Structure formats: C-alpha cells, structure tokens
Amino acid sequence: MDALTWRDVEGARRRIAGLAHRTAVMTCAAIDREAGAHVFFKCENFQKTGSFKFRGAVNAVACLSQEERSRGVITHSSGNHAQALALAAKLRGVRATVVVPENAAPVKRRATEGYGATVVPCAPTLAARKETTARLVEETGATFIHPHDDPRVIAGQGTAAWELVEEAGPIDLLLAPVGGGGLLSGTALAARHLLPKAQLIGCEPSGADDAYHSFKSGKRVTEFVPNTIADGLRTTLGELDFAIIKATVSDILCVSEESILSAMRFVWERMKIVIEPSSAVAVAPLLDRSLHAEGRRVGVILSGGNVDLDRFFEKG
Amino acid sequence: MDALTWRDVEGARRRIAGLAHRTAVMTCAAIDREAGAHVFFKCENFQKTGSFKFRGAVNAVACLSQEERSRGVITHSSGNHAQALALAAKLRGVRATVVVPENAAPVKRRATEGYGATVVPCAPTLAARKETTARLVEETGATFIHPHDDPRVIAGQGTAAWELVEEAGPIDLLLAPVGGGGLLSGTALAARHLLPKAQLIGCEPSGADDAYHSFKSGKRVTEFVPNTIADGLRTTLGELDFAIIKATVSDILCVSEESILSAMRFVWERMKIVIEPSSAVAVAPLLDRSLHAEGRRVGVILSGGNVDLDRFFEKG
C-alpha cells in the first residue's frame, strides 16, 4: 500500500460528510488560567456513538465496494470502535459482526447490539479473539476493519483535527491521546499539512506506555500489560500507526493515573461536559504543568465521553 | 413599580452583552427519538458560574447607580445566585457580601469566596438570615439583590429564552424549571413576546410543589417544607414571580424524584453534558412521557450544571 497522506484525509472528509457530526470546539477560561494558554477543545465526546472512532469507521465502510458491503464487516473490540463500526455499518445498510471477550462489561455489549451489530462472544485471550475473527471472516466473507491499524480508519480520524484548525485558527501545540495510535496518526496527517510548524504531542497513560517506549527506542513495543483507568488506551500501538507517528510526532508524554483523574474532574466541573479518562489524558499535561504551554495556542482532541455512570447514579 | 415587560428584557440584553456567555443550543437525536419531538436545549450549564443566575445578577448590578455601586451589593443564598452575584459584582469592581447559613456545603461557600465575595455565616433559620442581611444593609448601605423576587433579576433571566428562540427558530412548547420563579417568569416575558402561540410550561419537583399549588389555587403558597434532590428549586415562589407566572404560564407540571434522576442520567450519558438535578426537572416530562410532545418543536432551558462530583471521583 502507498503511504498515507493528506489526500487520504481529504477523501475521508468527503465520505463522512453528513454522516459524522461536525463537533463543537469549546474553550474554558478556568483551564486557560491554569495553563496560561489559549486552549481549544475539539469535543469528540459529542460525536455519534460518543467518540472520534465513528469518523474512521464511517470512512472505512464508505471505502468498501458494493460487493464487499453485501458481505458485511467484522471487528474485534469491546469498546468505542465496536459501537462506532456498528452504527457506521447500520447507516449504510451493512451487516456488522463484533467479536467481544466474554468478560467485557455487559453495558458495552448492549450498546453495540443497540446499534444493530451481531455480538459474538469469545474467550478473553488474544488467541481466541483472533481465531474467532478469522473463522467468521472465512465463513461469511466479511471485511475485517481493524480498530486502528487500518489506513481508512486512520484517514477518517484525521478529520477531527482538520475541523479543529478550521474553527480555532492557528495552533502552536496540538495534543491527542495515544493508545492504538489511530487518532494520533490521523491527527498527524492533518497537522503536518495544516500546521507544519506546530508541535504535535501524543499523551499516554504511564500505565500503558508502549507508545512512549516505542517512540523513544524507535522499535515498536508489542508485549506489555496495561494498567490504567483510561480503558480506551490499553491497546497496543499498531504497525502502520507507529510508522506515521515515528515520522511526524514531536514527542510523547506519559501521564499518571492521579493526573488523569484530576484532569477529568476539572473538565466535568468547569466545562460541564462528560469526558472519559482517555480524553483526560490529553488535558492533564496542561493542568499538572508537566508541559509548558504559557502564552501558546493549544489544540486538544477530547477523544470521547463514554463512561459508566453507575457509580454516580446508583442508590447509596 | 411598573409591570415588567419585554422592554425590560431588551434592556437586560444590552446590559449583559459581552459579560454573560451566549451559551450553546444543543440537540440530541436520542432524546428526540424518546420524545418523538424536535428538542432544543439552551445550555445555561455552560453559563459563567455554571448557571443562568449570572444573567440576572449581571443585569441587576448594571442597573445600579454609581453611588449604589460604591456601597456594594448583598444577598442571601448558599447556591447558584451567590456565585453569580459574586462574579457579576467583581466584574464591575463592586463589593459583594453573601449571607450563608452555617450548615451550607463548604464547597459552595468556597466557590462564592473564589469569586471574591465576602461570606457572612448565619444561623440556619429564615429569621437569622433576614436579620443578618438587614443588619448588614443598615451598616454598609449595600443594595440587596434578591435571588429571584427582583425585576432586574427576572428581566436578566429572560435573555436565555430569547437567545434560544433566535437559534432554534419557531418553538411550540417551552419548558423551564421553577423554584423561586425568576427563570420561569423571565422566560415568560420573552416567550409571550416572541412566541405568543407557544405553550409555556413550568416544571417543578413533586417534593417542592409550591408553584404548582399556587398556580392551581391562584393563591401563593408560602409555607412548605421542600424535600427534593433538585437543590436549586427548594426555594419559595416569589411574589413578583408569581404575578407574572399566573398571568402568562400555560401550566405547571410536577416531576417525581425518580424521573428527575433518570432524566439527569440520560442527559449525562447521551448528550455528554453535566447538568444539575434542577435542570433535569425540565427534561423529565419529555422522557417519562408525562407530557405529549409528539411532532412538536420543543425548547428546554437547562438551568445549570453545578453538581458535587465527590461521589463519582472519591476513591472507592
């Protein structure tokens, strides 16, 4: 496959138009004061299915031929990509199958089924997940859409940063969370074209710092055991994602669990919006002062807002 | 004093311009589906100090003469009006004093102090509050700004509905919570001018249904013991507020505690915004089907987003 470029983001933008929301860009005086900066938040928590993942999923489904569409799509995920692909497929009348580990939270399984996908449980191991997915691809001819290591998905994710720049104007410093790397690499494709001089920084939980070590060593880390509240960032950095990140990203910062929670609370309390821990990872460096942003124009991609609210609303 | 009219809302709008936020109007496909309607939410949870109260407070302070300003403002409140008046005064360089019952939540007291007001504690009785306030007015010559029973405050609150109508276009049905009645009466002043044919409905917790009984009997209820999670709506309907509401509002609906919590959770989960229980009171009738809104264009004033998040974020 040819290298991904800005042109792919342009193509994605045409394909997702009218299907994905153009989400709001918000500012917050309290965060500006804390960071001493002008911060613009791209609110992908307001995106359909509650996260940026919908952009990549819609683009991937739109790239399929009619014949491929008739055989359906499949993925493995228990999180935001599952819901995103389920709805993206549904909107185009495409059958979606999602392989989910048996021990996934029932609430996530129900959300995916709610968007019309068929959920196939498997044992909670990487081997079982791959085996089950491969068997279903064999049986049904469905197209596999990887959550992040897929050029169509990456190009779709790049559209969020593009919209952010359109709204916010010049940006000196752009922050995005990094887990599998789909959002960060897509953001990089957009940023390198639109903001050639800007610093682009990936933000990762210290408890899942494979992208950090991959970036610093130049060699992709594939074996690690994540331990973080940021459930969207527990995945391993993808191959294609890493190739782009290595070539384009300025730096990767690690964020402690305490900083993640404290940033999440700050955003809920002061911006009055619900973001998930993975989003807070890209806000935390501005609040815990691990990043010097004084006087700069900063863009932050708030990746999603899917949080289990039982703890708050349960009778107690 | 002359009767309040649309002209007063026009005046308020000029006075608050550039000081209060023009807050976003949001829609939510999931709520539209549940209600079978087109619902437009005016997000006063995004207003400065986290609630619509800032509009009325800014207008009230702006209405003062230079001489009055030099003597400061005073109010009694442990909630959103306290913070709103504190910031409104600070922005005009006016000294603010807030009388707060000793048993008020420390977090609210700190928020008010954070906006630069002087907090004066008093015994947690109506008599002590009135006595303390009267004594301070006597001593300092400060102008008392009532949380809702004040024409300047009511006129300011009306600007939210005006902005909503500008953004959403024609509205058939307009919902606002009612506690003391400042928001509902201000909304009525705007709605009766801009939407003469629309139904305007006040929404009140069943556990604090003084406005409901006042409206139905035509006689203002002044003695009642509130019991509701919607802390912003525990106050007694004001005299001036009631005069406007009686003359202009179509109906008042009572909402159960269960419906309030369930609507609040729905908004957090699906709209990804933080609203306080008082806001949810005006959403609940659309979700619990106590109101038939099918096919109609509905406006809802989300009054605020100040919630104590300890329960969610405390280590557990």
- pLDDT of B1 strictly over 60: no
Give the per-residue pLDDT at B269.
Answer: 96
Cβ of residue B313 closer than 8 Å to a chain A Cβ: yes
| Residue of A24, A43, A268 with shortest CB distance to B274 | A268
Token digits of residue B305: 């987003």
Q: State the DSSP H helix or E strand holding residue A167, giving kind and residue range, or none if neither.
A: helix A151-168
Kindly state whether residue A182 falls inside one of the protein's structural domains.
Answer: yes
Length of chain A, please?
316
Candidates B42, B48, B51, B53; catalytic one: B53
Asked if A305 lies within 8 A of B272 by C-beta distance, the reply is: yes
- pLDDT of B76 strictly over 90: yes
- The alpha carbon of residue A214 and the mean position of all alpha carbons in its chain are separated, in whole angstroms, by 19
- pLDDT of A314 strictly over 70: yes
Taking only the tens place, the pLDDT of each residue in B33-46 is 999 999 999 999 99
Regarding whether B178 and B113 lie in a shared domain, the answer is: no
Kindly state whether residue B1 falls inside one of the protein's structural domains.
Answer: no
Q: Return the beta strands (E) in chain A as ranges.
A: 25-26, 38-43, 73-76, 96-101, 118-122, 143-144, 173-177, 199-205, 251-255, 297-302
Token digits of residue B157: 């609150």
Sort out which chain B residues have CB atoms less than 8 A from A261's CB and list them. 313
Chain B residues 158-187 with a CB less than 8 Å from chain A: none
Regarding whether B59 and B189 lie in a shared domain, the answer is: no
Regarding whether B282 and B188 lie in a shared domain, the answer is: yes
* Mean pLDDT of all residues in A166-187: 97
Taking only the tens place, the pLDDT of each residue in B89-145 is 999 999 999 999 888 888 788 889 999 999 999 998 889 999 999 999 999 999 999
The answer to whether B272 is a known catalytic residue is no
Kindly state whether residue B298 falls inside one of the protein's structural domains.
Answer: yes
Give the per-residue pLDDT at B129.
Answer: 92
Asked if B305 lies within 8 A of A261 by C-beta distance, the reply is: no
Regarding whether A90 and A59 lie in a shared domain, the answer is: yes
Regarding whether A157 and A102 lie in a shared domain, the answer is: no
Cβ of residue B229 closer than 8 Å to a chain A Cβ: no
The answer to whether B42 is a known catalytic residue is no
Kindly state whether residue A316 falls inside one of the protein's structural domains.
Answer: no
- Chain-wide mean pLDDT for chain B? 95
Q: Which of A122, A144, A166 is the last residue of a domain?
A: A144
Give ipTM to 2 decimals.
0.95
> Measured at the alpha carbon of residue A182, what is the angle toward residues A295 and A216, in degrees to the nearest 5?
65
Regarding whether A36 and A76 lie in a shared domain, the answer is: no
What percent of chain A is modeled with pLDDT above 90? 90
Token digits of residue B60: 């009230």
Kindly state whether residue A1 falls inside one of the protein's structural domains.
Answer: no
Q: Please state, in angstroms and rounded to a whole number, the distance separating the CA atoms of residues A17 and A15.
A: 6
Q: Return the beta strands (E) in chain B as ranges.
A: 25-26, 38-43, 73-76, 96-101, 118-122, 143-144, 173-177, 199-205, 251-255, 297-302
What DSSP letter does each residue of A253-271 carry, written as one string?
EEE-HHHHHHHHHHIIIII
- Cβ-contact A46, A22 below 8 angstroms: no
Regarding whether A173 and A102 lie in a shared domain, the answer is: no
Give the per-residue pLDDT at A125.
Answer: 87
- pLDDT of B289 strictly over 60: yes
B121: helix, strand or coil: strand
Give the per-residue pLDDT at B2.
Answer: 63
Q: Which of B144, B169, B202 is the last residue of a domain?
A: B144
Q: Please state, in angstroms and rounded to a whole number, the distance separating the CA atoms of residues B112 and B208.
A: 25
Regarding whether B186 and B65 lie in a shared domain, the answer is: no
Residues of A annotated as catalytic are 53, 78
* Mean pLDDT of all residues in B146-153: 97
Taking only the tens place, the pLDDT of each residue in B240-269 is 999 999 999 999 999 999 999 999 999 999
Q: Which of A86, A111, A144 is the last residue of a domain?
A: A144
- CATH, residue A307: 3.40.50.1100
Token digits of residue B183: 């928001």
- pLDDT of A282 strictly over 80: yes
Q: Give the single-character DSSP code of A198.
A: S
- Cβ-contact B287, B30 below 8 angstroms: no
- Cβ-contact B47, B122 below 8 angstroms: no
Q: State the DSSP H helix or E strand holding residue A161, giving kind and residue range, or none if neither.
A: helix A151-168
| Domain span including residue A213 | 6-51+150-311
Sort out which chain A residues have CB atoms less than 8 A from B312's CB and list them. 268, 309, 311-312
Give the per-residue pLDDT at A316.
Answer: 53
Taking only the tens place, the pLDDT of each residue in B193-234 is 999 999 999 999 999 999 999 999 999 999 889 999 999 999
Q: State the DSSP H helix or E strand holding residue B152, giving kind and residue range, or none if neither.
A: helix B151-168
- Cβ-contact B141, B135 below 8 angstroms: no
Regarding whether B89 and B32 lie in a shared domain, the answer is: no
Pairing state between β A38-43 and A25-26 = antiparallel
Regarding whether B125 and B227 lie in a shared domain, the answer is: no
- pLDDT of A315 strictly over 80: no
Regarding whether B159 and B230 lie in a shared domain, the answer is: yes
> Phi and psi dihedrals of A299, rounded to 5?
-110, 140
* Mean pLDDT of all residues in A270-298: 97
A20-43 in b/e form (b: 16+ CB < 10 A) is beebbbbebeebeebbebbbbbbb
* Mean pLDDT of all residues in A190-211: 97
Q: How close B313 gets to chain A, by Cα (Å)?
A: 7
- Cβ-contact A211, A185 below 8 angstroms: no
Asked if A311 lies within 8 A of B311 by C-beta distance, the reply is: yes
| Residue of A261, A309, A316 with shortest CB distance to B269 | A309
Q: Please state, in angstroms and rounded to a whole number, the distance separating the CA atoms of residues B173 and B253.
A: 13
Regarding whether A199 and A63 lie in a shared domain, the answer is: no
Give pTM, 2 decimals: 0.96
Confidence of residue B316 (pLDDT cuts 50, 70, 90): low
- How many domains is chain A built from? 2
